[in-house]
């Protein structure tokens, strides 16, 4: 595996040259070893040499989750004896996908997490609590463990499932770093407070948050990010990753979006017509993870919507960065002709102190406008009007959705569902 993380500090031209070189090698590898991609090249009349740089990737069709489901084995490039790990997605958005990893792929994710965690500020002196699943064939916990081990920090492998174990471990092992879902970090801190202790005094100096954004699109902390920073009295950075793309984008300690790693991934951010969007504009993250040998992918559609940033990061790395994920592609809504993602509305609601909880419903009514109903839970329903909330949303997304104010208890009855780790806040009735 080619590793050269000093490249991140060189000029963007040098970074792109290096990225394009690895991309060419990756395309050649897919052509030679992947039955799926060989067929795709042959059908389209393309040769690997037509893809010289990231800008040529648009010549190739996109790879969708459905393709992985349907042609799974055709993506496999190695014989059975080279597979060392069978990994699967959580299946939160459909049926789980199976990804086969070789020893070198495992090495690659470990390297990815080691450079990412180090940039976020983790050192060999840290105790790092990994509060995400290591078992059940999940990738995240395994990848973090491999990264923590490489840095030489101590891992506290609590997993994510049991809140009591998380709290007990935080009190007993005194981790200095916690990797977890941000809403879970908040629940954990509140439970510690209720037990009469102060989470801010436990010695946690860094939270690395996965699965939910902790920033707004201006890259400042969202209300959730800010709450975490205060309650734990520590730095809070975010990371974004996907099992299929086997790569994470982690913020450095300056927290200005997750850095792209040129040796690990080629990234395109595109609009709904597949055209690249300019920096700062939201689009779908299309990823070509480099140097994967087991099930390599070309132009994989993650379905996640975010923007990228090209302005210099204070850490000195010149790589581009990925901002918060504001939604999933299939969650895109149209309000009077304007595209809106639920995440954008949620960020506004999180900023209103009186709002305790919320959910959103979308109904398909007309082609250009869908009916979006934002249901907001407030303790005292008289203290804030639905219209003033709708105005706040309009100030941010430019259109005014329907807002209904309810009691927080009524909203919770809808959003908290048995057996689900995260609250359900988005209800889509468009295809019914």
Residues found near Zn ion in the complex (CB under 5 A): 252, 254, 313, 315, 317
> Closer CB to Zn ion, residue 102 or residue 239?
239
> Closer CB to Zn ion, residue 152 or residue 312?
312
> Closer CB to Zn ion, residue 221 or residue 317?
317
Who contacts 104 (Cβ-Cβ below 8 Å, separation ≥6)?
Answer: 1, 291, 293
How far is it, in rounded angstroms, from Cα 179 to Cα 118? Answer: 13
> Closer CB to Zn ion, residue 246 or residue 252?
252
Cα angle 197, 198, 201; round to 5: 120
Shortest CB 260 distance to Zn ion, Å: 11
Q: Where are the beta strands (DSSP E) in 115-156?
A: 127-130, 154-156
Who contacts 405 (Cβ-Cβ below 8 Å, separation ≥6)?
Answer: 376, 378, 381, 384, 385, 386, 389
How far is it, in rounded angstroms, from Cα 187 to Cα 402? Answer: 30
Task: Pull the structure tokens for residue 390.
Answer: 């709708």
How far is it, in rounded angstroms, from Cα 424 to Cα 21? Answer: 43
Question: Are 334 and 398 within 8 A, CB to CB?
Answer: no
> Closer CB to Zn ion, residue 170 or residue 313?
313
> Closer CB to Zn ion, residue 8 or residue 406?
8
CA 74, 80, 82, 88: dihedral to nearest 10 degrees? Answer: 60
Shortest CB 270 distance to Zn ion, Å: 24
Shortest CB 5 distance to Zn ion, Å: 12
How far is it, in rounded angstroms, from Cα 363 to Cα 107? Answer: 45
Shortest CB 308 distance to Zn ion, Å: 13
> Closer CB to Zn ion, residue 169 or residue 319?
319
> Closer CB to Zn ion, residue 115 or residue 252?
252
Shortest CB 164 distance to Zn ion, Å: 36
Shortest CB 115 distance to Zn ion, Å: 12
Q: What is the largest CA-CA distance in the chain?
A: 68
Shortest CB 262 distance to Zn ion, Å: 14
Number of H helices and E strands in the chain, helices first, is: 11, 21
Q: Is 47 helix (H, G, I), strand (E, B) or coil?
A: coil
Sign of CA dihedral 301, 65, 82, 116: positive
Shortest CB 252 distance to Zn ion, Å: 3
């Amino acid at each position: 595996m080619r590793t050269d993380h000093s490249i991140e500090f060189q000029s963007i031209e040098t970074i792109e040259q290096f990225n394009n070189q690895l991309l060419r090698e990756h395309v050649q590898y897919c052509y030679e070893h992947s039955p799926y991609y060989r067929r795709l090249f042959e059908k389209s009349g393309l040769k690997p040499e037509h893809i010289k740089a990231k800008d040529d990737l648009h010549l190739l069709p996109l790879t969708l989750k459905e393709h992985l489901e349907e042609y799974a084995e055709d993506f496999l490039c190695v014989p059975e004896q080279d597979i060392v790990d069978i990994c699967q997605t959580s299946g939160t958005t459909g049926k789980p996908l199976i990804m086969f990893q070789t020893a070198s792929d495992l090495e690659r994710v470990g390297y990815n997490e080691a450079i990412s965690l180090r940039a976020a500020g983790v050192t060999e002196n840290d105790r790092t609590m990994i509060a995400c699943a290591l078992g059940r064939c999940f990738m995240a916990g395994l990848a973090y463990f491999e990264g923590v081990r490489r840095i030489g920090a101590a891992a506290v492998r609590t997993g994510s499932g049991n809140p009591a174990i998380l709290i007990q471990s935080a009190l007993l092992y005194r981790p200095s770093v916690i990797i977890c879902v941000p809403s879970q970090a908040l629940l954990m801190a509140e439970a510690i407070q209720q037990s009469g202790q102060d989470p801010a005094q436990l010695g946690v100096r860094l939270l690395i948050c996965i699965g939910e954004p902790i920033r707004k699109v201006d890259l400042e902390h969202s209300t959730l990010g800010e709450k975490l920073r205060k309650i734990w009295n520590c730095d809070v950075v975010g990371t974004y990753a996907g099992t299929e793309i086997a790569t994470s984008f982690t913020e450095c300690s300056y927290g200005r979006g997750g850095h792209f790693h040129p040796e690990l991934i080629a990234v395109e951010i595109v609009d709904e017509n597949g055209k690249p969007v300019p920096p700062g504009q939201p689009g779908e993250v299309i990823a070509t993870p480099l140097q994967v040998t087991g099930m390599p992918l070309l132009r994989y559609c993650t379905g996640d919507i975010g923007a990228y940033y090209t302005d210099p990061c204070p850490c000195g790395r010149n790589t581009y960065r990925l901002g918060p994920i504001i939604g999933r592609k299939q969650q895109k809504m149209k309000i009077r002709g304007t595209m809106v993602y639920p995440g954008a509305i949620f960020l506004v609601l999180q900023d209103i102190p009186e709002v305790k909880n919320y959910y959103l419903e979308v109904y398909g009514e007309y082609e250009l406008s869908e009916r979006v109903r934002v249901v907001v839970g407030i303790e005292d329903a008289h203290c804030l009007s639905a219209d003033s909330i709708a105005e706040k949303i309009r100030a941010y997304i430019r259109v005014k959705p329907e807002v209904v104010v309810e009691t927080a208890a009524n909203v919770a009855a809808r959003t908290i569902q048995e057996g689900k780790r995260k609250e359900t806040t988005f209800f889509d009735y468009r295809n019914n």
